[in-house]
Structure 1
Amino acid sequence: MAEEAALELEDSVKPKSKKKLIIFGVGGVVLLIVIAITAWMLLGSDEAAESTSAVEGAATEQAARTGEAYYAAMPRPFLFNLSDNGRTRLVEIKVQLMVRGNDDDTLIRKHIPLIEDALLTTFSGADIQKLSSPAGKDELRQLALRNVQNTLQPVTGRTVVEKVLFTGFVMQ
């Protein structure tokens, strides 16, 4: 009799478990489909907005590049130490930034501390062997330009600096 009661309990439990499994499985599939459709809708609209803003940004940047060139000198030279096979070398770099138009010149002067931070971070990570060659200096100049542009882009909303120029370079 106890065996019959146990069999009846097992039989009654199994169908409910299968029903729950089927319900959760179907619910999970529906949830995944909803998430996929939502993601597709959101990402699809962002791509269209990004392409439109990229075209507008390029037109604005091109208009800014046609203005008169202004050169903004950093107020202080950059002094930093670099290690060279256990020997410390002192490097001093004087920098000027080329911008287009009086508005960009004013904007650069407003953000000098931010620019100095980006340049010092770039310069202090340089390799002493690369700085010994003209190609290495040019590579550092291009890296400095990209870092300054990437630093200013979120703040100003556009590319302001056109060139980073080394007006003095001393390595001891």
Structure 2
Amino acid sequence: MAEDTSLEIEETGKSKKKLIIIIVAVLLVVGGAAGYFLMSGSDAPAETLDEETTVSEETSTAVESGSSAEMGSALYVAMPRPFVFNVPGSSRDRIVQIKVQLLVRGDINEETAKKHIPLIEGKLLSVFSTTTADELGTSAGKETLRFTALEKVQAALMDVEGSKVIERVLFTGFVMQ
């Protein structure tokens, strides 16, 4: 009989420990989830969010009504290989590697851009090779290069297709050695 009571006491002690461990684990999970949701919320007050929504709605309405071109969904066409070229610098020549993606609107413009990738690559390489290392060393120089590349590509596609096709030229990788 004495053995039966000692077994009951051990089992009760083990079950209490298991219960405490389960309660602590549940509290940790609930606390972690609550912390995640509280931390991932927006820091902006509700008034600011309403104003931003209104501004974005007005902007999209203005773009839709004021644009003469078809506005499709934004699609990105990646150039198949990065551009690698030499540029002269004040102290020495440098090698530059630029990875480019093109922003187009709609499936038709995406297919047109993909069809004319050799033409686009040629125009981009000719624009890239006219710059210097000193210009590419500044962010303003990179923006100027990107804008010039966009103008030249749009002009080339206008001659061939009769429309600009490309909305933006984006540098997704830029290395200068």
Fold shared, TM-score > 0.5 on shorter chain:
yes
Distance in structure 2 (CA, Å) of the matches to 1:166 and 1:127 = 17
Secondary structure at the residue paired with 2:100?
Answer: strand
> Which amino acid in the other structure matches residue 99 of structure 1?
V
Residue 62, structure 1, aligned to residue 60, structure 2: no
Structure 1 residues 76-123: Cα deviation after superposition (integer angstroms, max 9, x where no partner):
000000111352200000000000000100010000000000000000
85-94 or 99-108: bigger deviation: 85-94
> Which amino acid in the other structure matches residue 108 of structure 2?
D
80-89 or 159-168: bigger deviation: 80-89
Counterpart selection for 2:149 from 144, 153, 171: 144
Counterpart selection for 2:117 from 89, 112, 116: 112
> Which amino acid in the other structure matches residue 138 of structure 1?
E
Distance in structure 2 (CA, Å) of the matches to 1:67 and 1:83 = 40
Residue 95, structure 1, aligned to residue 93, structure 2: no
Match of 2:163 in 1: 158
Secondary structure at the residue paired with 1:85?
Answer: coil
> Which amino acid in the other structure matches residue 72 of structure 2?
G
TM-score (norm 2): 0.61
Secondary structure at the residue paired with 2:157?
Answer: helix
The 5-angstrom pairing of residues 3-152 of structure 1 reads: 62-64=68-70, 66-85=71-90, 87-152=92-157
* Equivalences, count: 112
Secondary structure at the residue paired with 2:68?
Answer: helix
Q: Give the root-mean-square deviation of aligned CA atoms.
A: 1.4
Distance in structure 1 (CA, Å) of the matches to 2:133 and 2:69 = 39
> 8 Å contact 2:90–2:134 — kept in the other structure?
no
Distance in structure 2 (CA, Å) of the matches to 1:63 and 1:166 = 24
**Sequence identity (%):** 52
Unmatched 5+ residue regions in structure 1? 1-58
Unmatched 5+ residue regions in structure 2? 1-64
TM-score (norm 1): 0.63
Distance in structure 2 (CA, Å) of the matches to 1:168 and 1:62 = 32
